[in-house]
Structure 1
């Protein structure tokens, strides 16, 4: 029988911390894509900073308060994490997260597609045993714009498929039982 108070091997603790941060990053993508701003709020510390280009720079909670207006014209959001570089320093960590983010935006002349290749520069802190964002900055490395949109959700290849939607009308909210999307601040944790 092992002593439950025995210290964890530092290498194992590093893996656990990196996994928790990775899940935080993935939860952010889900919250952004589903326009689930309650979930988004649960991912940041109250005093966190968010730098989101032209949209916002300042307190992350204030940024999240502006999201309904920002998201109003975004018909589709689809964030994909490709590379995570995470370095730990006790209860602090930093991450360079590579992303591909697709946006379909309703413009004056109809929908347009914006595909951004970029990165998040992140700072995380573990407080009360939970990793959250303390600072996030968006970096754009390239962008591709198609106006008008080339997305076709009525193509015969996807006939009969569930179609992703913003907010809790997305089919994932009804399909999953274990994920608990949108069920409070710790819903993203495994």
Structure 2
């Protein structure tokens, strides 16, 4: 294999590893899997999640049980991923749609957010992880009260997703493990 093709293959594999990291973040957030979330960041990584937390990612993750307590539904969807590699470091602009159903003082309300993550990644000991992640909100669509209808006839007989261990994925899959990346 020539050196140019070898370099292209390495970049493709690195981009795939980073894409899997991004997707694992969504799963960890939506399933409230804090051990998995911690495994996605380097120990000295920074996370800027607006008013929720700005600083060490480990401090943000430690706050997640309290932050997510009011979240009845979290559903992150990655759309466009733009990645630039430079050896063992990379940067990414990741477009997301994130749906939140929240338990408020007056009952449930919804917030659909269109935004982006500004990411910096580093490959250490052969593994890509976040070194810095910042949330950018481009728009929000609130609905109060909530418009979600989990009892709609169209959903009859379907598995119903939930945060935490009650999610049906933990009984369905044998290869995906809670707390693992």
- What TM-score do the two structures reach when normalised by structure 2? 0.96
Q: How many residues align?
A: 180
Please say if 1:181 is aligned against 2:173. Answer: no
Structure 2 unmatched runs, 5+: none
CA distance in 1, matches of 2:154, 2:134: 37
CA distance in 1, matches of 2:69, 2:112: 18
CA distance in 1, matches of 2:142, 2:83: 30
Q: 2:96 matched to which residue of 1?
A: 99
CA distance in 2, matches of 1:169, 1:13: 39
CA distance in 2, matches of 1:135, 1:84: 16
CA distance in 2, matches of 1:46, 1:36: 17
Q: 1:29 matched to which residue of 2?
A: 26
Structure 1 unmatched runs, 5+: none
Residue of structure 2 aligned with 1:127, choices 124, 128, 148: 124
Q: Which runs of 4+ in 1 moved over 3 A?
A: none
Please say if 1:156 is aligned against 2:153. Answer: yes
Residue of structure 1 aligned with 2:43, choices 37, 46, 49: 46
Residue of structure 1 aligned with 2:166, choices 163, 169, 174: 169
Give the deviation of 1:181 after TM superposition.
Answer: 2.8
- What TM-score do the two structures reach when normalised by structure 1? 0.92
- 3-state SS of the aligned residue for 1:54? coil
